[in-house]
């Protein structure tokens, strides 16, 4: 199987490290040529809860360097880069290639489907905690399952093959027939954790240790759950709030992806997470004051990195 992972961020590098344990041909696509060259020379480095190892990886800065059609392309870029990433990989797709989104937030599957057609798209979630420490250097900070599925709910042989491959490489993975429910269930977790960690600069685990953040987390999650209910989306957890708290504990030492973005003064995925809840709620006439405040605060931070006050 030929697999290309698009995006050398924390998740892209983590996936490339694990999938490189297989005998399949794995490529990493990094649109930044200098960084791609560095990763080519140094390889990928992983440390943390699954041990430390280094691995050489095939890496390209442009799809044309990979040349051959890929069986699977995994999109691991930030949600705001999805559109460009999918346009870039068009030359890597044959009629049978599949494109798997392993990203946070709502809307990625729809963006990918517009470009490659819905029948080729796989959606997925992963609660793995990963922190990028440098180019191609990742800390594995929390182990959790990955779940993937198709939009039409079918579980064909290719999907089962991908599940086996991920599991053999040490990425605990299962399949789901209801990808929408899955994406919303992951969204609820990101709604509770990402913006709050980005605003407070706390590790995930600390959010539930302080009464203030615990309360805001609870309200943000409850608002999102009400939107999901009104849309008749069945969440995979009976008690979503307890699940978010459990993820805070399971990934206690993790720096959430949104906090990593803020610390690097980069754009965040706020519009695809809390912002998506606010937009969906507006269409349903539901109030989401807490998600609205979280969205506006994170957007203000994003827009004002060069105005930060230092004493
Ligand atoms: O998905 C995550 C993220 O940081 O984006 C969680 C699960 C919250 C782990 O940090």
The domain limits of the chain are 2-177, 181-307
How confident is the model at residue 103, as a pLDDT?
A: 95
Q: What's the predicted TM-score (pTM) here?
A: 0.92
Distance of CA 68 from the midpoint of ligand 1 (Å): 33
How confident is the model at residue 152, as a pLDDT?
A: 93
Given a cut of 90, whether residue 47 has pLDDT beyond it is yes
Q: Which CATH architecture has domain 181-307?
A: Orthogonal Bundle (1.10)
Given a cut of 90, whether residue 67 has pLDDT beyond it is no
Q: What percent of the chain has pLDDT over 90?
A: 93
Determine whether 186 is an active site residue: yes
- Residue 265: CB atoms within 10 A of its CB come to 11
173-231 pLDDT per residue, tens: 999 999 999 999 999 999 999 999 999 999 999 999 999 999 999 999 999 999 999 99
| Options 3.40.50.300, 3.40.50.720, 1.10.287.3510, 3.30.300.90; CATH of 2-177 | 3.40.50.720
Residue of 14, 247, 259 to test ligand 1 pocket, by largest number of atoms within 8 Å of CB: 247
State which ligand 1 atom lies nearest to the alpha carbon of 259. Answer: 4
Distance of CA 94 from the midpoint of ligand 1 (Å): 32
Given a cut of 90, whether residue 251 has pLDDT beyond it is no
- The pLDDT confidence band at residue 76, using thresholds 50, 70 and 90, is very high
As a whole number of angstroms, the distance between CA 99 and CA 267 comes to 24
How confident is the model at residue 77, as a pLDDT?
A: 97
Arithmetic mean of pLDDT over the chain: 96
Nearest residue CA, atom 5 of ligand 1? 257
Domains 2-177 and 181-307 share a fold: no
154-167 pLDDT per residue, tens: 999 999 999 999 99
Given a cut of 90, whether residue 80 has pLDDT beyond it is yes
How confident is the model at residue 54, as a pLDDT?
A: 96
Given a cut of 90, whether residue 239 has pLDDT beyond it is yes
- The pLDDT confidence band at residue 59, using thresholds 50, 70 and 90, is very high
Distance of CA 190 from the midpoint of ligand 1 (Å): 6
Identify the residues whose C-beta falls under 6 Å from ligand 1: 104, 127, 129, 189-190, 193-194, 204, 247, 251, 254, 256-257
With contact defined as beta carbons under 8 Å apart, do 269 and 194 qualify? yes
């Amino acid at each position: 199987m030929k697999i290309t992972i698009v995006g050398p961020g924390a998740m892209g590098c983590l996936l490339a490290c694990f999938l490189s344990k297989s005998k399949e041909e794995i490529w990493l696509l990094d649109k930044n040529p200098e960084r791609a060259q560095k990763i080519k020379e140094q390889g990928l480095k992983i440390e943390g809860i699954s041990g430390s190892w280094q691995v050489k990886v095939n890496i390209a800065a442009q799809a044309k360097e990979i040349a051959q059609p890929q069986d699977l392309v995994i999109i691991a870029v930030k949600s705001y880069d999805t559109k460009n990433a999918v346009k870039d990989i068009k030359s890597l797709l044959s009629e049978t290639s599949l494109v798997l989104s392993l990203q946070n937030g709502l809307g990625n599957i729809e963006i990918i489907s517009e470009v490659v057609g819905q029948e080729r798209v796989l959606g997925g979630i992963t609660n793995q905690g990963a922190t990028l420490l440098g180019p191609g250097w990742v800390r594995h900070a929390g182990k959790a399952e990955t779940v993937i599925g198709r939009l039409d709910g079918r579980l064909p042989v290719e999907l089962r093959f991908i599940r086996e491959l991920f599991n053999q490489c040490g990425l605990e993975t299962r399949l789901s027939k209801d990808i929408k429910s899955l994406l919303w269930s992951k969204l609820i977790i990101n709604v509770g954790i990402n913006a709050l960690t980005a605003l407070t600069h706390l590790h995930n685990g600390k959010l539930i240790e302080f009464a203030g953040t615990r309360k805001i987390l609870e309200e943000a999650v409850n608002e999102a759950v009400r939107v999901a209910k009104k849309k008749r989306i069945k969440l995979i957890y009976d008690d979503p709030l307890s699940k978010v708290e459990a993820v805070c504990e399971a990934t206690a030492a993790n720096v959430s992806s949104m906090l990593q973005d803020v610390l690097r003064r980069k754009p965040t995925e706020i519009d695809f997470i809390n912002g998506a809840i606010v937009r969906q709620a507006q269409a349903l006439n539901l109030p989401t004051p807490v998600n609205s405040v979280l969205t506006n605060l994170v957007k203000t931070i994003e827009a004002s990195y060069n105005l930060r006050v230092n004493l």
